[in-house]
Structure 1
Amino acid sequence: MPGPEVLLYGLPLAFLAGFIDAVAGGGGTITLPALIFMGLSPAQVVATNKLLAIFGSASATFQFWRKGNVDRALMLRLIPLALAGSALGAYLVHFVDPKTFQTLIGFVILGVGALVLLNKNFGLEDRYPGLTAGTLALTLPGAFVIGAYDGFLGPGTGTFAMFLFALAGFNLVRAGGNARTLNFATNLGAFLFFLIGGKMVWWIGLPMGVANALGATLGARMAMLRGSGFVKVIYAIIVVLVAARLFLLKN
């Protein structure tokens, strides 16, 4: 078991991860390697990461929610499906080796990033049509699939969710608010699951969670202040980092 000195780098990394995750998703690309480097077991890494992530996702969700950048009616319909998908993903991981398709997912997320960047206007204007049949036909199965991915593998869940909501017509700031809310729900479900397993390293996860929440608060406020153009630049960087994490994933 590591000593308290690991928090000297764990806390600032958790803060940075919270900031990045609130803006564009992908905070786990920072916190997962940090926890691995601390010497925790794979089970402890996954469980402790969910513990700290729930702080950051809750903080970011609150910031976006209070400023009206979360579509509450849509979220009420999507969260149950995301939770069901997350449970299914956690179940399937016992039967399928995640490493058999993580490289494919890496290419998929690079493709997603390319679509966002090549379309200059994508995500810059809010064109959400409301709760239409088309919106629900896209987002209901999308939320279930993203939840399943989060339960099964995880890295880049928020990034995929942002793309889903941008496809639905939200600008990237509102897409980010919806994505953080959906991710908070899946994090909460996973947190309760791992809580039962007893693998969380609380003395690491709690202080890193507070740092993650502070970073997420700053990141959410920055995203709303600077707008969708700023978010799009950060999104492009995160897509590359998430893809690299998937290609190099060993744990």
Structure 2
Amino acid sequence: MPDPSVLLYGLPLAFLAGFIDAVAGGGGTITLPTLIFMGLPPAQAVATNKLLAIFGSASSTWQYGRSGHIEWPLVLRLVPLALIGSAIGAYLVHFVDPNIFKNLVAVIILGVGALVLTSKKFGVTDKYPGLTTRVLALILPGTLVVSLYDGFIGPGTGTFLMFLFALSGFNLVRSSGNARAINLATNAGAFIFFLIGGKMIFWIGLPMGAANALGAYVGAKMAMLRGSAFIKVVYAFIVLVVAARLLIH
């Protein structure tokens, strides 16, 4: 069992992860390796990571929601798909080696990042047309696939969701808000699963969760204050981190 001194670096890293995740997703690429570095076995690290992640996703969802940056009529329709997709993904882990898909996903997320960053207009203005047939045809299967990926592998789920919402016409601020709400749903489902499994280390997860929530609060505030241009810069950083995390086994 780790020494309590690990929280000296665990807390600031959890804060940083919450900040980044609230802006552009990808916070788990910081917290999960941190928990493993602390000395937690993989099963306990994954479970504890979900414990602290639910604090951060709840904090950022609340901030975006109270400021009107979440499209609730759409998001509430997507939550059941997100829960089903993540559950299927978690089930498939037992039958398929996730390493088979990691390199492919890394290439895809680099392509997504390149498209977002090279297009000056992508995600800058809000052009969401409402619950049209085109939007539903894109967002419903897209959410199911990304949520399945979340349960199966995980890193960069929020980043993929942001891209999906931006394709549907949202600017990057509202895309981030919608993505955080969906992430809260998938984190809640995984949290219940791992809580029943009894693998969480609460004396690590709870204080790091509080730090993660504080970072998410600051990150969401900063994203809404600085707008889509700021989010694009953070997005570029997260795309590179997630791709590296997937390529380095």
What band does the TM-score fall into relative to the shorter chain? Answer: over 0.9
Secondary structure of 2:26's partner?
Answer: coil
Amino acid at match of 2:68: G
Q: CA deviation at 1:145?
A: 0.8
Q: Deviations over 1:210-251 (max 9, x none)?
A: 0000000000000000000000111011100010011113xx
Q: Percent identity?
A: 73
Q: TM (normalized to structure 1)? A: 0.98
Structure 2: state its 5+ residue gaps. none
SS at match of 1:124: coil
Partner of 1:81: 81
Q: Structure 1 residue 29 and structure 2 residue 29: aligned?
A: yes
Name 2:185's counterpart in structure 1: 185
Name the amino acid aligned to 2:234.
I
What does residue 108 of structure 2 align with? 108
> How far apart are residue 76 of structure 1 and its match?
1.0
Asked if 1:219 is matched to 2:219, the reply is: yes
- Between the aligned partners of 2:91 and 2:161, the Cα distance in structure 1 is 21
Partner of 1:164: 164
- SS of the equivalent of 2:121 reads coil
Equivalent residue, structure 1, for 2:242 = 242
- Counterpart of 1:183, as a letter, is N
Q: Deviations over 1:51-83 (max 9, x none)?
A: 000000000000000000000000111010010
Shift in Å at residue 131 of structure 1?
0.3
SS in 2 for 1:131: coil
Q: Which amino acid aligns with 2:45?
A: V
Structure 1 runs not aligned, ≥5 long: none
Correspondences of 1:42-191 after superposition (within 5 Å): 42-191=42-191
2:151 is matched by which residue type in structure 1? G
Find the aligned partners of 1:70 and 1:110 in 2 and give their Cα distance.
26
Read off the aligned partner of 2:220 and give its amino acid letter: A
Q: SS of the residue aligned with 2:175?
A: helix
Give the match's secondary structure for 2:130.
Answer: coil
Q: Tell me, in whole angstroms, the C-alpha distance in 2 between the residues paired with 1:89 and 1:13.
A: 27
Shift of 1:14: 0.0
Matched letter for residue 53 of structure 1 = A
Cα deviation for residue 103 of structure 1 reads: 1.1
Post-superposition Cα deviations, 1:165-184, rounded to whole Å, max 9, x if no partner, equal: 00000000000000000000
Partner letter of residue 83 of structure 1?
A: L
Counterpart-to-counterpart distance in 2, 1:247 and 1:32: 16
Q: In 1, distance between residues paired with 2:204 and 2:172?
A: 32
Partner of 1:199: 199
Q: What TM-score, normalized to structure 2? A: 0.99
Q: Distance in 2 between matches of 1:200 and 1:154?
A: 18
